[in-house]
Structure 1
Amino acid sequence: MIFEAELPIRFAHCDPAGIVFYPRYFEMMNGVVEDWCAQGLGCSFHEMHMVRGTGLPTVHLETDFIRPAQLGETLLAELTVLKLGNTSVEIQVCFCGQQHDVRLKARLVLVMMDLSLREAMVIPDELRAAMLHYCAAKDEKLASA
């Protein structure tokens, strides 16, 4: 299963040339992760941060900028889980144009964190089960490696 979200390219995302200014992609990626948590995993950032005292910060990020996106376009974001560990999850996020042409591809490592201790913690069972639904690996053993 793939988590999908539409991203309209707004004026605020663009540089004077009318294309997405690269740091804005990182903000959009964070928004996709936030939407995935709320809509796909059933645990909003508000619930995670304010109620549970946990977070899911990005600790590693690799990005390939393949083709520019410009003002007025709508991109499709696709998120899949590549690897699910004890305290971390590696995801892939792709932004595609209307013709399903890839504009950006990124790999992110997110770590479940106890915010009061500022330490990694085991991903709660209900979040782990929800994350498995988005696993690209066919074998659950690969997803838990």
Structure 2
Amino acid sequence: MDLESAQSPQPNIMSTYVYQFTVPLHDIDAAGVMFFTHILRHAHNAYEAFMAEIGFELKSLIEENQHLPLIHTEATFLRPIRHGDKVSVHLQVATIGDTSFTVSYRFHDQNENELAKVETSHVLISPYKGERRALPDDLREALSNYLP
């Protein structure tokens, strides 16, 4: 094989979906910071927007009996999040399995300081029996574009 016909492997170009929001007053607790459960709502808002962006709007999936409930979630808070903060959520797909996938979220302020990290794991189930189902190839392919 000559050198011109040899192809070097292409690096995996990391795609990140970015979702932005401004922290509303109703997210703030008596200590003046975001109440801990609200970070999961904002992660879910980013997830819904992401899924629509890649062509898998959750409303349509539900209508097609393809439910993707959460099976695990965790959050780590690194800095206080306050009312009026402009936050960007950097979303990537961490893993893709046969029936499930995990999404990673990094929350940053307007100065690019990392505020929080969240992970959510979703599984595709049959809505009536609750049994796991294999992820469709087109969903797996769309998700794989956001693997690190």
- Whether TM exceeds 0.5 here: the answer is yes
Aligned to 1:108: 120
Task: Tell me by how many angstroms 1:61 deviates.
Answer: 1.5
Is 1:36 aligned to 2:50, yes or no? yes
The answer to whether residue 140 in structure 2 is matched with residue 125 in structure 1 is: no
Instruction: Give the partner amino acid of 2:19.
Output: A
Q: Structure 2 CA distance, aligned partners of 1:63 and 1:42?
A: 27
* Amino acid of the structure 1 residue aligned with 2:91: L
User: What residue is the counterpart of 1:89 in the other structure?
Assistant: 101
Could you tell me which residue of structure 2 aligns to residue 45 of structure 1? Answer: 58
Higher strand share: 1
**TM-score of the aligned structures, taking structure 1 as reference length:** 0.87
Whether 1:63 and 2:67 are equivalent positions in the alignment is: no
CA-based RMSD of the aligned residues comes to 1.2
Give CA deviations for 1:91-121 in whole Å, capped at 9, x if unaligned: 2111111111111112222111221221211
Q: 1:15 aligns with which of 29, 35, 55?
A: 29
For residues 68-103 of structure 1, give each alpha carbon's deviation from its aligned partner in whole angstroms, at most 9, with x where no partner exists: 111011100011111111101122111111111111
**Structure-1 separation of matches of 2:113 and 2:137:** 36
Corresponding residue to 1:5 among 16, 19, 30: 19
1-10 or 104-113: bigger deviation: 104-113
Please state whether the residue corresponding to 1:25 is helix, strand or coil.
helix
Give the letter aligned to residue 95 of structure 1.
F
Task: Give the helix-richer structure, 1 or 2.
Answer: 1
* 2:38 maps to which of 24, 37, 52: 24
Q: Alignment partner of 1:35: what SS?
A: helix
CA contact (8 A) 2:40 2:118 kept: no
Q: Which runs of 5+ in 1 are unaligned?
A: 137-145
